Structure 1
Amino acid sequence: MTERLGADAAGLARASTLLHAGALVAFPTETVYGLGGDARNGTAVAGIFAAKGRPQFNPLIVHVADMAMAEEIAVFTPQARALAQAFWPGPLTLVLPLRKEAGISDLVSAGLETVALRMPAHPLARALLETFGGPLAAPSANPSGKVSPTEAHHVLEGLSGKIAAVLDGGACAVGVESTILSLDPPTMLRPGGLPAETLEEALGASLASGGNAAKPNAPGQLTSHYAPGAAVRLNATEKRDGEVFIGFGSGPKADLTLSATADLVEAAAALFATLRAADKLATARNATAIAVAPIPETGLGRAINDRLRRAAAPRN
């Protein structure tokens, strides 16, 4: 059985013990729950892929406690260091050259010469990294391609019996995964919890767009991802027969809403939980699809729409 650990010293100690033994522990970040394993233990990392049913060509994000740990793993240019100082801890992942002597499992980087690094802001995630004393590879704690978890019970719904434990820190505040950025030139590989406009202001330049679904160099680039069981229809302005309707702001009466006040921060935090609720409602009603109202393509709306487009893509 998967243990459910409390957000206290005993829970952190147990989680650290399990991780040192090569077991997997899910933990909360400010974005979503991550499925953590020792990034230097190839067996543990292989266990992450097995538990999720994740394609092994898809890289993982390495979570670190501080800059000292980050610089042991990757090469930081002055620009990369400035971005880390500005936005870490927080929902930004940087794809940087991997130090070969860092001891990171080849499975983490999918055999590439780069590594995706992040320093989470959630206090429980930071406490776990400090207690464990090393880097943790941690994709979202859900079966591959399915809706990401923003609460501990979401993790258990998908991975109970497949992982050792989940560290319960309550609901995640941001609700969509981190923004992923590569440099030289600065390129947005995945929109996320840090808006592109904020990064562009810090960089003093526009971001290029990148990412290759056939050969990803960072997580979250697969075309079909974040998918509920029911089909998803986007930019819906009305509810059709056989659908569950998710609204945003004012508009037609909705079964569920991401934000009644059209608040993108509230919508991002609620996105995955709302998709899960809509999927359960569709099953209960024998509905075949989930329709989602239009979301503005600005700020966090870019990340929300990115996840919705992948949820609506043809299934693999």
Structure 2
Amino acid sequence: MKGDSPEIAAEALKTGRLVMLPTETVYGLAADASNPQAVARIFEAKGRPRFNPLIAHVANAVDAETVAVFDASARALAEAFWPGPLTIVAPVRDRDQVCDLARAGLDSVAVRVPGHLKARAVIAAFGGAVVAPSANRSGRPSPTTFDDALEETGQAVGAAVDGGPCAVGVESTVVSVLDGQVALLRPGSVTREELEAVVGPLAEAAGQGHRSPGRLALHYAPDAPVRIEAEAANDGEILLGFGPGVGEARWSLSASGDLREAAANLFRLLREADRTQPKGIAVSPIPRTGLGEAINDRLKRAAGFVG
């Protein structure tokens, strides 16, 4: 399928239809954030639990503050990392712009300005906030290519924008900025160290996990069972290797041990390995520093651990 233009996608959003939206993180299944019926179509297409809130994507930081109430820390984070793969959870300002269903009934809202030019072009042409969870069926690995996104939920969309392979490959970092404290709710490519360089030490996120998307225990999971921290493949398994000489080159997350390369390859290789119908998918140990925190978080959820 040839991708549609941002203008065609924006028209589809205005009429309550869903749109396949490229971002720098993963492909999203987008809908008008203010339209409960359109948002419900996302849940239907994904089979997504209704208690899991969605991220409102906006065209710029000014628009973000029409949706959410930002304090000085939120503005500092937005200035440092937007457009880009950071989601800020803050008190909701306008409940009509992001409906209750999209917020899972919470008094907070998750918002970000995506780094992908085509994503921002669609949102700007639409003229409002767009919710766009990953375009996979719920619990499955997130799609990082146009074809994979179409395979997952393409039958549910009224338009689809091809933005090429996703540069980042894992979902955005999510932080809450509530009651004067900044807490990390979901690790991503904006690392803990980068966040703390802007706002100082992060607070504990105890009791706030429900405010972030992607926090189910079993998430990002292929059909084959996933075994993490594996030194070698068992009989019938495929090993996703990390580092020089680990496993087959075809299945290497990064032969050079580069965490950004591993993040970009993670969901694609989980999906490709799963298509071969192995007995299981084993994954080499991944360092837990920097971006490795996000990779390990996704792998724990793919393996069925809360993490």
After superposition, residues 106-145 of structure 1 pair within 5 angstroms as 106-145=100-139
Alignment-derived partner of residue 256 in structure 1: 251
CA 1:190–1:211: 2 relative to 1, 3 Å: farther
Alignment-derived partner of residue 266 in structure 2: 271
> How much has 1:165 moved relative to structure 2?
2.4
Alignment-derived partner of residue 208 in structure 1: 204
Matched residue SS, 2:213: coil
Alignment-derived partner of residue 17 in structure 1: 11
State the AA in 2 paired with 1:258: L
Matches of 1:212 and 1:206, distance apart in 2 = 13
Matches of 1:186 and 1:49, distance apart in 2 = 29
TM-score, normalising length from structure 2?
Answer: 0.95
Superposition RMSD in Å: 1.6
Matches of 2:95 and 2:263, distance apart in 1 = 38
Matched, 1:26 2:20: yes
Deviates more, 1:299-308 or 1:64-73: 64-73
Name structure 1 gaps, 5 residues minimum.
Answer: none
In 2, are the aligned partners of 1:97 and 1:115 still within 8 Å (CA)? Answer: yes
Matches of 1:309 and 1:154, distance apart in 2 = 22
Deviates more, 1:303-312 or 1:180-189: 180-189
Matched, 1:93 2:91: no
Matches of 1:211 and 1:293, distance apart in 2 = 31
In 2, are the aligned partners of 1:192 and 1:300 still within 8 Å (CA)? Answer: yes
Matches of 2:299 and 2:136, distance apart in 1 = 17
Matches of 1:267 and 1:300, distance apart in 2 = 9
Matched residue SS, 1:276: helix
Matches of 2:41 and 2:208, distance apart in 1 = 25
In 2, are the aligned partners of 1:211 and 1:221 still within 8 Å (CA)? Answer: no
Alignment-derived partner of residue 54 in structure 2: 60
> How much has 1:193 moved relative to structure 2?
1.7
State the AA in 1 paired with 2:147: H
CA 1:204–1:48: 2 relative to 1, 3 Å: same
State the AA in 2 paired with 1:49: F
CA 1:40–1:246: 2 relative to 1, 3 Å: same
State the AA in 1 paired with 2:67: I
In 1, are the aligned partners of 2:173 and 2:186 still within 8 Å (CA)? Answer: yes
State the AA in 1 paired with 2:164: G
State the AA in 2 paired with 1:275: L
Residues 125-153 of structure 1 deviation map (CA, whole Å, 9 limit, x = unaligned): 11111111111011001101100010111
Match of 2:298 among 294, 299, 307: 307
After superposition, residues 231-242 of structure 1 pair within 5 angstroms as 231-242=225-236
> How much has 1:67 moved relative to structure 2?
2.0
In 1, are the aligned partners of 2:181 and 2:202 still within 8 Å (CA)? Answer: no
Matched residue SS, 1:186: strand
Matches of 1:120 and 1:242, distance apart in 2 = 39
State the AA in 2 paired with 1:187: A
Matches of 1:104 and 1:293, distance apart in 2 = 40
> How much has 1:264 moved relative to structure 2?
0.4
Matches of 1:280 and 1:207, distance apart in 2 = 41
Deviates more, 1:19-28 or 1:183-192: 183-192
Of all paired residues, the percent bearing the same amino acid is 52
In 1, are the aligned partners of 2:184 and 2:202 still within 8 Å (CA)? Answer: no
Matched, 1:185 2:176: no
Matches of 2:284 and 2:97, distance apart in 1 = 46
Residues 78-118 of structure 1 deviation map (CA, whole Å, 9 limit, x = unaligned): 11111111111111000000014543211011000000000
Match of 2:32 among 38, 43, 53: 38
In 2, are the aligned partners of 1:181 and 1:188 still within 8 Å (CA)? Answer: yes
In 1, are the aligned partners of 2:26 and 2:144 still within 8 Å (CA)? Answer: yes
Give the 4+ runs in structure 1 shifted more than 6 A: none
Match of 1:294 among 285, 290, 300: 285
Residues 159-180 of structure 1 deviation map (CA, whole Å, 9 limit, x = unaligned): 1322222211100000000000
TM-score, normalising length from structure 1?
Answer: 0.92
Matches of 1:240 and 1:5, distance apart in 2 = 41
Matches of 2:147 and 2:112, distance apart in 1 = 24
In 1, are the aligned partners of 2:9 and 2:159 still within 8 Å (CA)? Answer: yes
State the AA in 1 paired with 2:256: T
> How much has 1:239 moved relative to structure 2?
1.4
> How much has 1:204 moved relative to structure 2?
2.1
State the AA in 1 paired with 2:296: N
Alignment-derived partner of residue 174 in structure 1: 168
